[in-house]
C-alpha cells in the first residue's frame, strides 16, 4: 500500500511541478506545518470534511495548521491537484511538498471516502 501511495504522490507532484517526496505515513511527522487550499471533497465518518474538520483532524495528528504559504511550510494540501490557486503557485515557487487531499488523509491515517 505504501508503494502505491508513494507512486501516486510522485505522479501528482510531477503534475503539480512540486519536488518528489515520499508519501508514506513516516514522511509526515508531528510538528510539521500544513496548509489547506481549495474545496475539499473527501468525507470522513459519512460527513463532508469541511475546512474546520480538516484542521481538527490535522491537529489531532500532531500537525501545526497554518493559514498561509511561507518558506517554512512543510505541506500544502490541495482539493484539486491541478489547482492554480495563489497558495499552490507560491508553494511550487518555494518547492513545498503538495499533496492531493486523499493522499494526505491516508498518509496521516484518516479513513476517508
Residue 62 sits in a domain whose CATH number is 3.40.50.10190
3 state DSSP class of 35? strand
Query: Which structural domain range is residue 90 located in?
Result: 2-21+29-107
Give a yes or no: residue 68 inside a domain.
Answer: yes
Give a yes or no: residue 112 inside a domain.
Answer: no
Cell of 91: 508553494
Give a yes or no: residue 63 inside a domain.
Answer: yes
> pLDDT digits over 49-100, tens only?
999 999 999 999 999 999 999 999 999 999 999 999 999 999 999 999 999 9
> pLDDT digits over 22-58, tens only?
334 448 999 999 999 999 999 999 999 999 999 999 9
Give a yes or no: residue 113 inside a domain.
Answer: no
Q: Give, as one character, the DSSP assignment of residue 88.
A: H
Q: What is the mean pLDDT of residues 8-14?
A: 58
Instruction: Taking the CA atoms of 49, 54, 58 and 59 in sequence, report the sign of the dihedral they define.
Output: negative
The domain tally of the chain equals: 1
Quick one: which of 26, 37, 27 has its CA closest to 65?
37
Amino acid at each position: 500500500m505504501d508503494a502505491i501511495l508513494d507512486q501516486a504522490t510522485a505522479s501528482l507532484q510531477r503534475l503539480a511541478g512540486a519536488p518528489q517526496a515520499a508519501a508514506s505515513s513516516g514522511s509526515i511527522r508531528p510538528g510539521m506545518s500544513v496548509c489547506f487550499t481549495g474545496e475539499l471533497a473527501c468525507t470522513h465518518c459519512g460527513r463532508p470534511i469541511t475546512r474546520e474538520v480538516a484542521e481538527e483532524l490535522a491537529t489531532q495528528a500532531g500537525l501545526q495548521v497554518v493559514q498561509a504559504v511561507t518558506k517554512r511550510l512543510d505541506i500544502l494540501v490541495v482539493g484539486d491537484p491541478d489547482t492554480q490557486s495563489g497558495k499552490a503557485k507560491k508553494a511550487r515557487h518555494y518547492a513545498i511538498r503538495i499533496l492531493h487531499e486523499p493522499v494526505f488523509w491516508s498518509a496521516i491515517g484518516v479513513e476517508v471516502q
